[in-house]
Amino acid sequence: LDEIGRGTEPTRRAFTDGMQVVIDDIAPTAIPEPTYPWDVSLAVGTAMESVMKGAASPDKAIATAEAAIQKVIDRDKLPEKAPKN
């Protein structure tokens, strides 16, 4: 972090100070978001967009997303990959 070679001194200082906060205060206790296959994110986003645009009712959009997500679950055998307690 000390070797940031771009920008003015205040810019470098703000960047390094900000990164130091992330490294020291945020990262040690951060809880990562779950990751999903892209197809799942796309199905959720498409459902939300279709409702916002009035192209589908919420129930229809949820049903469509659920079907698309179930295909991904089956295709990628996701239940077999779930963490075990």
Q: Is the pLDDT of residue 2 over 50?
A: no
Residue pointed to by tokens 């796309």: 42
pLDDT, tens only, 5-52: 556 777 767 777 778 888 888 888 888 777 789 999 999 999 999 999
pLDDT given for residue 17 in this prediction: 77
pLDDT given for residue 7 in this prediction: 62
Q: Global pTM? A: 0.60
Q: Is the pLDDT of residue 54 over 90?
A: yes
Residue pointed to by tokens 């990751």: 35
pLDDT given for residue 5 in this prediction: 53
Rounded Cα–Cα distance for residues 71 and 68 (Å): 5
